[in-house]
Chain A
Amino acid sequence: MATIAQQPYVVARLVDASDSRTEMRVHIRSGSSRAAGVAAARQLADLVGAASAAVPIEHLVRYPHLVRGGPRAAPGSSRFAVGVLIFETDTLEQYAIIEIPGIKPSLIDPNNNTLLLLTAPPLANYITALTSGVFTNPFGYQLTTCIAGLYQVRQ
Protein backbone atom coordinates (compact mmCIF):
# COMPACT_ATOMS: atom_id res chain seq x y z
CA MET A 1 0.00 0.00 0.00
CA ALA A 2 1.41 3.35 -0.96
CA THR A 3 0.57 6.90 -0.13
CA ILE A 4 1.74 9.34 -2.76
CA ALA A 5 2.24 12.93 -1.70
CA GLN A 6 1.21 15.16 -4.60
CA GLN A 7 2.51 18.64 -5.18
CA PRO A 8 0.98 20.99 -2.59
CA TYR A 9 -0.70 24.12 -3.88
CA VAL A 10 -2.06 27.45 -2.78
CA VAL A 11 -5.37 28.94 -3.87
CA ALA A 12 -6.75 32.46 -3.96
CA ARG A 13 -10.55 32.63 -4.23
CA LEU A 14 -12.15 35.77 -5.60
CA VAL A 15 -15.57 37.31 -6.05
CA ASP A 16 -16.48 39.81 -8.78
CA ALA A 17 -19.03 42.60 -9.04
CA SER A 18 -21.74 40.16 -10.15
CA ASP A 19 -21.04 37.93 -7.11
CA SER A 20 -19.56 35.20 -9.33
CA ARG A 21 -16.67 33.35 -7.75
CA THR A 22 -13.60 31.58 -8.98
CA GLU A 23 -10.08 30.82 -7.92
CA MET A 24 -6.48 30.88 -8.99
CA ARG A 25 -4.26 27.96 -8.02
CA VAL A 26 -0.46 27.81 -8.00
CA HIS A 27 1.63 24.85 -6.87
CA ILE A 28 4.34 25.21 -4.28
CA ARG A 29 7.45 23.21 -3.45
CA SER A 30 7.08 19.73 -1.99
CA GLY A 31 7.70 19.56 1.72
CA SER A 32 6.74 23.17 2.30
CA SER A 33 5.80 23.71 5.92
CA ARG A 34 2.44 24.92 7.11
CA ALA A 35 3.88 28.36 7.88
CA ALA A 36 5.52 28.65 4.46
CA GLY A 37 2.37 27.41 2.71
CA VAL A 38 0.08 29.78 4.57
CA ALA A 39 2.44 32.68 3.87
CA ALA A 40 2.56 31.77 0.17
CA ALA A 41 -1.24 31.57 0.01
CA ARG A 42 -1.53 34.99 1.59
CA GLN A 43 1.12 36.41 -0.72
CA LEU A 44 -0.71 35.03 -3.75
CA ALA A 45 -4.06 36.41 -2.55
CA ASP A 46 -2.57 39.85 -1.95
CA LEU A 47 -0.79 39.96 -5.31
CA VAL A 48 -3.79 38.63 -7.20
CA GLY A 49 -5.99 41.12 -5.37
CA ALA A 50 -3.83 43.96 -6.66
CA ALA A 51 -3.87 42.68 -10.26
CA SER A 52 -7.57 41.83 -10.37
CA ALA A 53 -10.70 43.94 -10.25
CA ALA A 54 -12.31 41.06 -8.37
CA VAL A 55 -11.70 40.75 -4.63
CA PRO A 56 -9.94 37.92 -2.78
CA ILE A 57 -12.23 36.43 -0.15
CA GLU A 58 -10.33 33.30 0.84
CA HIS A 59 -6.92 31.78 0.52
CA LEU A 60 -5.74 28.30 1.37
CA VAL A 61 -2.87 25.87 1.16
CA ARG A 62 -3.62 22.23 0.43
CA TYR A 63 -1.47 19.10 0.77
CA PRO A 64 -3.05 16.38 -1.40
CA HIS A 65 -2.18 12.69 -1.14
CA LEU A 66 -3.19 9.72 -3.24
CA VAL A 67 -3.65 6.24 -1.79
CA ARG A 68 -2.74 3.27 -3.95
CA GLY A 69 -2.91 -0.44 -3.25
CA GLY A 70 -5.33 -0.28 -0.34
CA PRO A 71 -8.38 -2.54 -0.02
CA ARG A 72 -10.64 -2.20 -3.08
CA ALA A 73 -14.29 -1.31 -2.64
CA ALA A 74 -16.12 -4.41 -1.46
CA PRO A 75 -18.97 -5.90 -3.50
CA GLY A 76 -22.21 -4.24 -2.43
CA SER A 77 -20.46 -1.25 -0.88
CA SER A 78 -22.44 1.98 -1.08
CA ARG A 79 -21.42 5.50 -0.18
CA PHE A 80 -25.02 6.11 0.88
CA ALA A 81 -24.66 3.71 3.83
CA VAL A 82 -23.18 6.04 6.38
CA GLY A 83 -21.96 5.52 9.91
CA VAL A 84 -22.33 8.64 12.00
CA LEU A 85 -20.23 9.09 15.12
CA ILE A 86 -21.15 11.81 17.60
CA PHE A 87 -18.46 13.05 19.95
CA GLU A 88 -18.32 15.20 23.02
CA THR A 89 -15.40 17.58 23.17
CA ASP A 90 -13.33 19.08 25.95
CA THR A 91 -15.80 21.96 26.13
CA LEU A 92 -19.35 21.75 27.40
CA GLU A 93 -22.05 21.74 24.70
CA GLN A 94 -19.50 21.53 21.90
CA TYR A 95 -19.94 18.39 19.82
CA ALA A 96 -18.55 16.86 16.66
CA ILE A 97 -20.09 14.65 14.01
CA ILE A 98 -17.83 12.39 12.00
CA GLU A 99 -19.14 10.24 9.18
CA ILE A 100 -17.93 6.99 7.69
CA PRO A 101 -19.28 6.44 4.15
CA GLY A 102 -19.85 2.80 3.24
CA ILE A 103 -19.86 1.58 6.83
CA LYS A 104 -19.32 -2.17 7.07
CA PRO A 105 -22.58 -4.05 7.78
CA SER A 106 -20.77 -6.03 10.46
CA LEU A 107 -20.49 -2.82 12.51
CA ILE A 108 -24.25 -2.29 12.65
CA ASP A 109 -26.04 -3.49 15.78
CA PRO A 110 -28.00 -6.61 14.72
CA ASN A 111 -30.58 -5.87 17.41
CA ASN A 112 -31.13 -2.27 16.38
CA ASN A 113 -30.16 -1.43 12.85
CA THR A 114 -30.05 2.31 13.51
CA LEU A 115 -27.09 1.95 15.87
CA LEU A 116 -23.43 1.08 15.45
CA LEU A 117 -21.49 -1.38 17.56
CA LEU A 118 -19.11 1.10 19.16
CA THR A 119 -17.25 -1.66 21.01
CA ALA A 120 -16.53 -3.67 17.86
CA PRO A 121 -12.73 -3.59 17.47
CA PRO A 122 -12.57 -1.67 14.16
CA LEU A 123 -14.81 1.10 15.47
CA ALA A 124 -13.27 1.08 18.94
CA ASN A 125 -9.79 1.47 17.43
CA TYR A 126 -10.96 4.28 15.16
CA ILE A 127 -12.64 6.09 18.05
CA THR A 128 -9.53 5.71 20.19
CA ALA A 129 -7.45 7.32 17.44
CA LEU A 130 -9.95 10.14 16.99
CA THR A 131 -9.90 10.93 20.70
CA SER A 132 -6.11 10.76 20.98
CA GLY A 133 -5.82 14.52 21.18
CA VAL A 134 -5.02 15.45 17.58
CA PHE A 135 -8.54 15.82 16.26
CA THR A 136 -11.10 18.50 17.01
CA ASN A 137 -14.48 19.69 15.87
CA PRO A 138 -14.55 22.52 13.28
CA PHE A 139 -14.34 25.09 16.07
CA GLY A 140 -11.12 23.63 17.45
CA TYR A 141 -12.49 21.76 20.48
CA GLN A 142 -10.74 18.46 21.09
CA LEU A 143 -12.74 15.25 20.68
CA THR A 144 -12.97 13.38 23.98
CA THR A 145 -15.75 10.77 24.06
CA CYS A 146 -17.89 9.09 21.44
CA ILE A 147 -21.42 9.32 22.82
CA ALA A 148 -23.37 7.75 19.96
CA GLY A 149 -22.96 5.84 16.75
CA LEU A 150 -25.80 5.86 14.24
CA TYR A 151 -26.39 4.09 10.97
CA GLN A 152 -28.08 6.13 8.28
CA VAL A 153 -28.97 5.48 4.66
CA ARG A 154 -28.71 8.72 2.71
CA GLN A 155 -30.69 9.69 -0.35
Chain B
Amino acid sequence: MPWIEKPTASLVYSLVDETGSNSTFSLDVPEATLADVALTAAAALRPLIEACTDCEVVAYNLTYSSRNTTPAPAGGGSRVERKGVLQFLTAAGKVATYQLPGIIDAAVLPDGRIDDDNLAIAALAGAIIAADAIFTDSNGQGLDSLYAAYERYSRTTKMQLPLSRRPD
Protein backbone atom coordinates (compact mmCIF):
# COMPACT_ATOMS: atom_id res chain seq x y z
CA MET B 1 0.00 0.00 0.00
CA PRO B 2 1.47 3.42 -0.90
CA TRP B 3 1.65 5.02 2.53
CA ILE B 4 2.93 8.58 2.44
CA GLU B 5 4.06 10.16 5.69
CA LYS B 6 2.88 13.69 6.32
CA PRO B 7 5.83 16.11 6.25
CA THR B 8 5.26 17.08 9.87
CA ALA B 9 4.04 15.62 13.12
CA SER B 10 1.25 17.60 14.81
CA LEU B 11 1.49 18.87 18.34
CA VAL B 12 -2.02 19.73 19.50
CA TYR B 13 -2.73 21.57 22.74
CA SER B 14 -6.18 21.44 24.36
CA LEU B 15 -7.41 24.33 26.46
CA VAL B 16 -10.58 25.15 28.37
CA ASP B 17 -11.90 28.57 29.19
CA GLU B 18 -13.83 29.81 32.22
CA THR B 19 -17.09 28.34 30.89
CA GLY B 20 -15.53 24.92 30.34
CA SER B 21 -15.60 25.30 26.57
CA ASN B 22 -12.80 23.45 24.82
CA SER B 23 -10.44 24.74 22.22
CA THR B 24 -7.39 23.36 20.48
CA PHE B 25 -4.55 24.69 18.43
CA SER B 26 -1.73 22.92 16.69
CA LEU B 27 1.94 23.33 16.00
CA ASP B 28 4.09 21.24 13.69
CA VAL B 29 7.50 19.65 13.98
CA PRO B 30 9.35 17.88 11.17
CA GLU B 31 8.19 14.31 10.74
CA ALA B 32 11.67 12.95 11.43
CA THR B 33 11.76 14.56 14.89
CA LEU B 34 12.09 11.89 17.56
CA ALA B 35 9.10 11.61 19.87
CA ASP B 36 11.21 12.31 22.95
CA VAL B 37 12.60 15.48 21.40
CA ALA B 38 9.20 16.72 20.29
CA LEU B 39 7.58 15.92 23.62
CA THR B 40 10.37 17.67 25.52
CA ALA B 41 9.84 20.73 23.36
CA ALA B 42 6.09 20.48 23.94
CA ALA B 43 6.56 20.37 27.71
CA ALA B 44 8.94 23.33 27.60
CA LEU B 45 6.48 25.33 25.52
CA ARG B 46 3.53 24.79 27.86
CA PRO B 47 4.41 27.42 30.51
CA LEU B 48 5.10 29.92 27.72
CA ILE B 49 1.63 29.27 26.33
CA GLU B 50 0.11 29.56 29.79
CA ALA B 51 1.76 32.99 30.10
CA CYS B 52 -0.08 34.15 26.97
CA THR B 53 -3.55 32.72 27.55
CA ASP B 54 -6.21 33.08 30.19
CA CYS B 55 -7.43 29.56 29.36
CA GLU B 56 -6.21 26.46 31.17
CA VAL B 57 -3.95 24.10 29.25
CA VAL B 58 -5.36 20.65 30.05
CA ALA B 59 -3.66 18.33 27.58
CA TYR B 60 -1.44 18.01 24.58
CA ASN B 61 -0.62 15.24 22.18
CA LEU B 62 1.88 14.47 19.47
CA THR B 63 0.73 12.66 16.34
CA TYR B 64 2.66 11.16 13.44
CA SER B 65 0.39 10.19 10.57
CA SER B 66 0.56 8.65 7.13
CA ARG B 67 -2.00 8.58 4.34
CA ASN B 68 -2.81 6.06 1.69
CA THR B 69 -2.78 8.31 -1.34
CA THR B 70 -4.22 5.81 -3.80
CA PRO B 71 -6.50 3.49 -1.82
CA ALA B 72 -8.05 0.55 -3.60
CA PRO B 73 -11.84 0.67 -3.83
CA ALA B 74 -13.57 -0.64 -0.73
CA GLY B 75 -15.18 -4.05 -1.07
CA GLY B 76 -18.68 -3.96 -2.55
CA GLY B 77 -21.26 -3.72 0.21
CA SER B 78 -18.67 -3.08 2.90
CA ARG B 79 -19.97 -1.14 5.89
CA VAL B 80 -17.92 0.18 8.75
CA GLU B 81 -20.88 -0.43 11.06
CA ARG B 82 -20.39 -4.18 10.65
CA LYS B 83 -17.84 -4.89 13.34
CA GLY B 84 -15.73 -7.84 14.18
CA VAL B 85 -15.44 -7.62 17.93
CA LEU B 86 -12.16 -9.06 19.15
CA GLN B 87 -11.68 -9.49 22.89
CA PHE B 88 -8.28 -10.22 24.31
CA LEU B 89 -7.19 -11.25 27.79
CA THR B 90 -4.35 -9.38 29.41
CA ALA B 91 -1.77 -10.90 31.72
CA ALA B 92 -3.78 -9.42 34.58
CA GLY B 93 -6.89 -11.29 33.43
CA LYS B 94 -8.70 -8.21 32.18
CA VAL B 95 -10.54 -8.06 28.89
CA ALA B 96 -9.55 -5.59 26.20
CA THR B 97 -12.08 -5.14 23.39
CA TYR B 98 -11.38 -3.95 19.86
CA GLN B 99 -13.83 -3.51 17.01
CA LEU B 100 -12.64 -4.27 13.52
CA PRO B 101 -14.74 -2.19 11.09
CA GLY B 102 -16.15 -3.83 7.96
CA ILE B 103 -15.06 -7.33 8.81
CA ILE B 104 -14.76 -9.57 5.77
CA ASP B 105 -17.59 -12.04 5.08
CA ALA B 106 -15.20 -14.96 4.98
CA ALA B 107 -14.31 -14.48 8.65
CA VAL B 108 -17.88 -14.55 9.97
CA LEU B 109 -19.37 -17.93 10.82
CA PRO B 110 -23.11 -18.62 10.35
CA ASP B 111 -23.74 -18.29 14.10
CA GLY B 112 -22.12 -14.84 14.27
CA ARG B 113 -18.83 -15.90 15.78
CA ILE B 114 -15.62 -14.82 14.14
CA ASP B 115 -13.57 -17.63 12.68
CA ASP B 116 -10.25 -17.22 14.43
CA ASP B 117 -8.73 -19.74 12.00
CA ASN B 118 -9.38 -17.34 9.16
CA LEU B 119 -5.95 -16.33 7.88
CA ALA B 120 -6.53 -12.57 8.10
CA ILE B 121 -8.04 -12.77 11.59
CA ALA B 122 -5.34 -15.14 12.77
CA ALA B 123 -2.67 -12.78 11.44
CA LEU B 124 -4.24 -9.77 13.15
CA ALA B 125 -4.81 -11.53 16.47
CA GLY B 126 -1.41 -13.19 16.30
CA ALA B 127 0.35 -9.87 15.80
CA ILE B 128 -1.50 -8.33 18.74
CA ILE B 129 -0.74 -11.16 21.18
CA ALA B 130 2.79 -12.00 20.00
CA ALA B 131 5.24 -12.21 22.90
CA ASP B 132 7.31 -9.34 21.52
CA ALA B 133 4.30 -7.29 20.37
CA ILE B 134 4.22 -3.59 21.01
CA PHE B 135 0.43 -3.63 21.46
CA THR B 136 -1.14 -3.35 24.93
CA ASP B 137 -4.44 -2.56 26.58
CA SER B 138 -5.15 0.99 27.75
CA ASN B 139 -3.30 0.30 31.02
CA GLY B 140 -0.15 -0.85 29.27
CA GLN B 141 -0.73 -4.54 29.97
CA GLY B 142 0.37 -6.93 27.25
CA LEU B 143 -2.37 -8.89 25.49
CA ASP B 144 -1.97 -12.62 26.01
CA SER B 145 -4.75 -14.45 24.21
CA LEU B 146 -7.84 -14.05 22.09
CA TYR B 147 -10.74 -14.52 24.49
CA ALA B 148 -13.79 -14.06 22.27
CA ALA B 149 -14.61 -12.89 18.76
CA TYR B 150 -18.04 -12.19 17.32
CA GLU B 151 -19.88 -10.08 14.79
CA ARG B 152 -21.75 -6.99 15.87
CA TYR B 153 -23.52 -4.15 14.13
CA SER B 154 -23.10 -0.67 15.51
CA ARG B 155 -25.26 2.40 15.02
CA THR B 156 -24.11 4.81 12.34
CA THR B 157 -22.76 7.93 13.93
CA LYS B 158 -22.91 11.36 12.39
CA MET B 159 -19.13 11.56 12.18
CA GLN B 160 -18.89 8.32 10.24
CA LEU B 161 -21.10 9.55 7.42
CA PRO B 162 -19.78 11.29 4.32
CA LEU B 163 -20.19 15.07 4.60
CA SER B 164 -22.94 15.06 1.98
CA ARG B 165 -25.09 12.71 4.06
CA ARG B 166 -24.68 14.17 7.53
CA PRO B 167 -27.89 15.43 9.12
CA ASP B 168 -28.01 19.13 9.97
- Measured CB to CB, the closest approach of chain A to B11, in angstroms, equals 8
Q: Show 28 residue pairs from A and B whose CB-CB distance is below 8 angstroms, ordered by the A residue.
A: A14-B80, A21-B162, A26-B128, A30-B140, A33-B35, A51-B104, A52-B78, A52-B84, A53-B78, A54-B74, A58-B67, A59-B3, A71-B50, A71-B56, A75-B18, A96-B28, A98-B25, A102-B15, A103-B53, A103-B54, A126-B45, A126-B49, A134-B41, A135-B28, A137-B8, A138-B8, A138-B28, A140-B8
A96: nearest chain-B partner, CB-CB = B28
CB of A77 within 8 A of chain B?
A: yes
A23: nearest chain-B partner, CB-CB = B101
Interface SS of chain B = mixed
Q: Which of A25, A51, A75 contacts B120 (CB 8 A)?
A: A51
Within 8 A of A (CB), among B2-36: 3, 5-9, 15-19, 21-25, 27-31, 33-36
B50: A residues at CB distance < 8 A: 70-71
CB of B77 within 8 A of chain A?
A: yes
Q: Which of A53, A74, A137 contacts B75 (CB 8 A)?
A: A53
Which residues from chain A sit less than 8 Å from chain B, CB to CB? Answer: 3, 5, 7, 9-10, 14-30, 32-34, 36-38, 40-67, 70-79, 81, 83, 96, 98-105, 107, 122-123, 125-126, 129-130, 134-140
Within 8 A of A (CB), among B50-76: 50-68, 71-76
CB of B131 within 8 A of chain A?
A: no
Provide the bound-state CA to CA distance between A136 and B10, in Å: 10
Provide the bound-state CA to CA distance between A39 and B157, in Å: 30
Q: A20-B156, A32-B134 given as contacts; is B48 within 8 A of A125 (CB)?
A: yes
Please report the number of residue pairs spanning A and B whose Cβ atoms sit closer than 8 angstroms.
Answer: 298
B61: A residues at CB distance < 8 A: 62-65
A123: B residues at CB distance < 8 A: 52
A63: nearest chain-B partner, CB-CB = B62
Provide the bound-state CA to CA distance between A55 and B102, in Å: 9
Structural contact, A38 and B66, CB atoms closer than 8 A: yes
CB of B136 within 8 A of chain A?
A: yes
Q: A16-B102, A38-B66 given as contacts; is B134 within 8 A of A102 (CB)?
A: no
Provide the bound-state CA to CA distance between A138 and B62, in Å: 14
Structural contact, B139 and A7, CB atoms closer than 8 A: yes
Most buried by A among B30, B31, B72: B30
Provide the bound-state CA to CA distance between A137 and B58, in Å: 23
B75: nearest chain-A partner, CB-CB = A53
B94: A residues at CB distance < 8 A: none
Q: A27-B138, A77-B55 given as contacts; is B49 within 8 A of A100 (CB)?
A: yes
